[in-house]
Structure 1
């Protein structure tokens, strides 16, 4: 299994997971996919096993926070196919994402999570910022 950037020609394979993650607006889906894959402000990585995408992470460099003067990244999605969960893949995807965030000079990474993923995010050392049970917010701060 390898973790690497998703490529434009992997749309069909990646789309299965994107749809598995949640609702997808189908109009212009492929165009949005290509735009994000080619945009250096995004990190769109996949866990690839036997030429199949079995998990993915999608993060974005949000740029500098106006008041704080520090760069922030946002995790849009982290998803692993159910049959591959609890095997360390999500942790590897998060590790690669965190390293990318640091490499672009980000001070922290923020995201909202599902109820089912709270335990995982707390286990990897992220800080829970809100206690909204439906969409709790988490953060990883990077010491620079």
Structure 2
């Protein structure tokens, strides 16, 4: 993959990272769900005593070509998760390559660098989720050894949004429930 390099993101990359996050959300038909900002990324990834995420970015090596297009052409955003069965793990939240740069091995290089990061951090596994209609992504991960746990183990992914959490808490309070928190 001559011409592109992967490196750890820096605080000055946050504007371009949020641009790529928004492009990914648009591709996934979920643009309305992006609430984060470049400032939020900078705070959470670079200013926290313990950063909440890690990010790798792909960029054109040739400065002249970089000046003609986007400086960053891809990113991989990950963070720690924990398995009570196997311990520390890494969750790959986003792996994105701009459409005009796909098919050049950039996604493979970002995924491989994330795998190296995962092992270097002593993680027991790398986990991610893919929308069920995104066959190119599913095929990409499966071709690299990824296991579809929906098929293999029957796992279902659930999400609680703030309104859902508040309703749950309110219903519990109405029944006289105690969360057990101080």
Shorter-normalised TM-score: what interval?
0.7 to 0.9
Report the alpha carbon displacement of residue 69 of structure 1 after superposing the two structures with TM.
4.3
Please report the RMSD computed on the Cα atoms of aligned residues, expressed in angstroms.
2.0
Q: CA deviation at 1:40?
A: 4.2
Q: Distance in 2 between matches of 1:104 and 1:78?
A: 19
Unaligned runs of at least 5 residues, structure 2: 26-30, 61-65, 158-182
Against the structure 1 CA distance between its residues 13 and 31, is the aligned structure 2 distance closer, same or farther, given a 3 Å change threshold? closer
Larger radius of gyration: 2
How far is the alpha carbon of 1:14 from its aligned partner?
Answer: 2.2
Counterparts of 1:76-87 in structure 2, within 5 Å, are 76-87=93-104
Unaligned runs of 5+ in 1: 138-144
Question: Which structure: greater strand fraction?
Answer: 1
Give runs of ≥4 in structure 1 deviating > 3 Å.
none
Q: Aligned partners of 2:15, 2:40: CA distance in 1, in Å?
A: 13
Deviation at 1:97, TM superposition (A): 0.5
Q: Secondary structure at the match of 2:15?
A: helix
Question: What TM-score do the two structures reach when normalised by structure 1?
Answer: 0.80
Q: How many equivalent pairs are there?
A: 129
Number of the residue aligned with 2:13:
10
3-state SS of 2:125 partner: strand
TM-score (norm 2): 0.64
Q: Matches of 2:86 and 2:149 in 1, distance apart?
A: 20
Q: Which has the higher helix share?
A: 2
